[in-house]
Chains A and B, each alone.
Chain A
Amino acid sequence: MIGRRKKRATEPARDAVLVPAVERAPDGAAVRAPEREDPLHPQRTVPRFGHGSRVPGWDDAVDLTKDPSEIPDPATTPVDPQLRAEIEAHMAKYPDYRSASIPALAAAQRHHGWCSPEAIEQAACVMRLTPGYLVSVASFYDMLETRPVGRHAVYVCTNISCSLCGADTLMQRIKEETAGDPDFNVRAFECLGACDIAPMVSVEGVYVGPVALDDVPKLVAQVKDGVPPLPNKQLRLRKSSDPGAARAVPGTVPTAGTPHPYGGEMPGQAPGPPAAIEYPPPEVDS
């Protein structure tokens, strides 16, 4: 039968193959061959689970009599109204409601801390999709967590530009500093798109850098306290490094304050942005 393996009794003889060859000393006693360290395979006996496979649960036969999980029943799946409203708002934005699966999973993750089976079931219930479909999406993307993680996401960029500037040491230092703290989700992340401030760290979406090794204890303390991390090293405060950016092109881009023939009142009621881009005060004590 395809997809199904016969369940075998554990075979004690199997381990014997993995034991190195036995040599006999002149007095007849068994002497183990000297172990040589293989740099690529330091542990030559492969760890296995009780059923003999390297994959957990490999031999747990699929229950073929059971139907695949269906779209959860709204009557038996309680969903937080706030989460439901958020997912429904995302679904309304697209011509095809399935497009909202990433935003919906991200919302469920914010509510539950990770994409737990419960979170996925709730998202699937609101979106009218099977949980299996959403699991396939959640397992593809790096930012959707399919294992429980700490609530403070600290992504350290360890890609090439940052590692040329010492990101690997920084990663190790941050790991040491947060070792054993279950609140931290410290991850080595692929290029975060801020190589100008290498080595950099994304603390819950806030980019900071360049982060010196000495900054790490302060950074970790600030994350724990919930205050903005390294205020004078945040990316949003950084000015363009292009010397040409300071030169405005005469006649084409009016500088601030220049009257413009079309610069009348704005039609409609436009809410302002959350905050304007600001520059750091000359001296920031952080």
Chain B
Amino acid sequence: MTDPILFAGIDEPALNTIEVYRRRGGYEMLRKALTTMTREEVLDELQASGLRGRGGAGFPTGKKISFIPAAQIDKYLVCNADESEPGTFKDRELMQKSPHMLIEGIVIGAFAAGANRSFIYIRGEYVEQADIIDAALLEAEAAGYLGENILGSGFNVSLVLHRGAGAYICGEETGLLDSLEGKRGNPRLKPPFPANQGLYQGPTLINNVETLATIPHIIRMGGAEYAKIGTDSSAGTKLVSVSGNVQRPGNYEVELGTPSREIIYGLAGGPPEGRRVKFWFPGGSSAPVLLEEDLDLPYDFNTLAEAGSMLGSGAIIVVDDSVPVVDVALKLAKFYKHESCGKCTPCREGTRWTVSMLERVDAGLATPMDLDIMASVQEQIIGNCLCVLGDAMAMPIGSMVAKFRDEFEAHIETARARNPWGDAAPEPPPPLVQGAVGA
């Protein structure tokens, strides 16, 4: 196992203050980047590092920055700290314990993108973390790492902390931009992508907290050196949030390509005594589930994609064999139904009907044919909306129905035996409105 990069000495007391951070060599990479390197050199290092976005999509960061046009117009950098994917809590720990690492990364990222205004969009529930970042911003500004003519380089950037107010959809990049503009957080049609037309219609670079916090380390190590960590397609280390039915839930920094079993059993202690892993979400609740036999897969972007799932935000949720799969599916579907913003019909209606169908399964009113209908609803959501919230429900639910079809059918049978209607099909409910009101 390699040494941690982001989590090295993260528990040092008062690391959230600028004194301790500077004593550890903090902000020196900002000095190096701004005073000895050009924008292109920074970009080259990031591209050489092979860093891929840590928020969910896994898009190469260097490439994303290179999409920002070089023209002399207002450009923006937005740090996505709206960590709302169920099971993910890595950014929370980073922001809470080492906010200056994030600020340093944002300023270097803004330098590479040529952005003069930057924002951190933090979710409203993270009150303590936002207060810590607020204090860190004041310190960094007073020390001259933010604002005008940073470290005498002539580069200006401002950084504003924006607190959200609780909406999962604001973690989606265009929903976040709308929310940051003071509107309802509805996603936008893409293209144009934010790199061309984002915040206030200007070119905007949006990156996750972990991605930006890695940038100072890439400058320190050099892109080529960073690329040596991990696998060929997935360079570097990744913060993995392990939660659910494990003995030691928490954030672990692992080298990409580490076997998943080592993360779940070695670091997180595996499921409680006497239980087995039934299935696990490799990348937050939006990722299709994997089974116990997939535990030996290396944990990296490409392998998980080949296995039919995704690395996503790096949140592993372990479900052990004591939990019925229908319960998990219903919980998930209700979450996505609640959080669907309602802009696109397939997602708004699909999430609602999926919940209704799962409730039928649970109430003993369903037949195995309902599972086919449910699977077809999932298929019709995928790819038909402006953003991937609908897909994020459709993919895990679809994979659960596919992989645990026997259990769903058995659940349907036991629930039918339980319900007072017996085997008889329920009468259709009486007409509610037709004929009654219009008469």
Contact = CB atoms under 8 A, between A and B. Distances in A.
Interface of A: 11, 13-14, 17-18, 36-41, 44, 46, 52, 93-96, 98-103, 105-106, 136-137, 140-144, 155, 159-161, 163-165, 189-198, 202, 204-207, 235-236, 239-249, 252-258, 260, 262-263, 266-274, 276-279
B363 A39 contact: yes
State the majority secondary structure of interface residues on B: loop
A272 B331 contact: no
B193 interface: no
Interface of B: 1, 3-5, 7-20, 22-25, 28, 31, 74, 83-89, 91-93, 96-97, 117, 123-128, 131-132, 135-136, 138-139, 142-144, 160, 162-168, 179-185, 200, 220-221, 241, 243-245, 248-253, 267, 285, 315, 317, 319, 323, 328, 331-332, 335, 338-339, 341, 359-360, 363-365, 419-421, 426, 429-432, 435-437, 439
A13 B14 contact: no
Q: Which of B20, B124, B200, B221 has most chain A Cβ within 10 Å?
A: B124
B7 A240 contact: yes
30 contacts: A17-B435, A38-B429, A39-B363, A94-B160, A102-B163, A137-B184, A141-B165, A143-B125, A160-B285, A161-B87, A161-B249, A193-B126, A194-B89, A195-B241, A195-B249, A195-B315, A196-B250, A206-B128, A241-B249, A242-B251, A244-B8, A245-B8, A248-B9, A249-B4, A249-B5, A266-B19, A266-B22, A273-B132, A277-B13, A277-B15
Contacts of A142: 165-167
Contact of A52 (B12, B31, B248, B437): B437
Given A164-B244, A190-B335, A273 B139 contact: yes
Given A96-B182, A195-B243, A258 B23 contact: yes
B7 A245 contact: yes
Given A160-B285, A247-B3, A273 B421 contact: no
B437 A269 contact: no
Given A142-B165, A196-B241, A272-B135, 10 more contacts: A159-B86, A160-B285, A160-B328, A195-B88, A196-B251, A269-B142, A273-B139, A276-B16, A277-B15, A278-B13
A249 B8 contact: yes
Given A206-B128, A247-B3, A40 B360 contact: yes
A14 B4 contact: no
A272 to B, nearest CB: 6
A254 B437 contact: no
B335 A242 contact: no
Nearest to A236: B128
A144 B220 CA distance: 42
Contact of A160 (B86, B165, B221): B86
Contacts of B11: 239-240, 245-246
Nearest to A255: B9
Contacts of A197: 249
Contacts of A239: 11
Given A36-B420, A100-B182, A252-B25, A193 B88 contact: yes
Contacts of B83: 193
B348 to A, nearest CB: 14
Given A106-B163, A195-B89, A240-B10, A266 B18 contact: yes
A198 B243 contact: yes
B69 to A, nearest CB: 18
A202 B125 contact: yes
A5 to B, nearest CB: 10
B124 A164 contact: no
Nearest to B136: A273
10 residue pairs, one from A and one from B, having the closest CB atoms:
A241-B250, A205-B127, A195-B243, A142-B166, A141-B165, A101-B182, A273-B135, A143-B166, A276-B14, A191-B86
A99 B20 CA distance: 34
B139 A272 contact: yes
Contact of A143 (B25, B165, B184): B165
Contacts of A276: 13-14, 16-17
B249 A40 contact: no
B249 A196 contact: yes
A235 B93 CA distance: 10
Nearest to B163: A103
A266 B143 CA distance: 6
A143 B359 CA distance: 27
Contact of B124 (A46, A106, A254): A106
Contacts of A204: 127
A242 B1 CA distance: 12
Contacts of B183: 98, 101, 136-137
Contacts of A144: 165-166
B429 A253 contact: no
Nearest to B239: A242
A201 to B, nearest CB: 12
A13 to B, nearest CB: 7
Contact of A241 (B74, B251, B315, B429): B251
B420 A37 contact: yes
Contact of B92 (A101, A141, A194): A194
Contacts of A18: 430, 436
A190 B180 CA distance: 21
A192 B97 CA distance: 18
Contact of B200 (A39, A96, A192, A198): A96
B17 A99 contact: no
A38 B426 contact: yes
Contacts of B126: 193
A242 B23 contact: no
A18 B432 CA distance: 8
Given A249-B4, A256-B23, A140 B184 contact: yes
Nearest to B180: A99
Given A102-B165, A164-B245, A272 B128 contact: no
A255 B12 CA distance: 8
A181 B417 CA distance: 41
A254 B24 contact: yes
A253 B128 CA distance: 26
A276 to B, nearest CB: 4
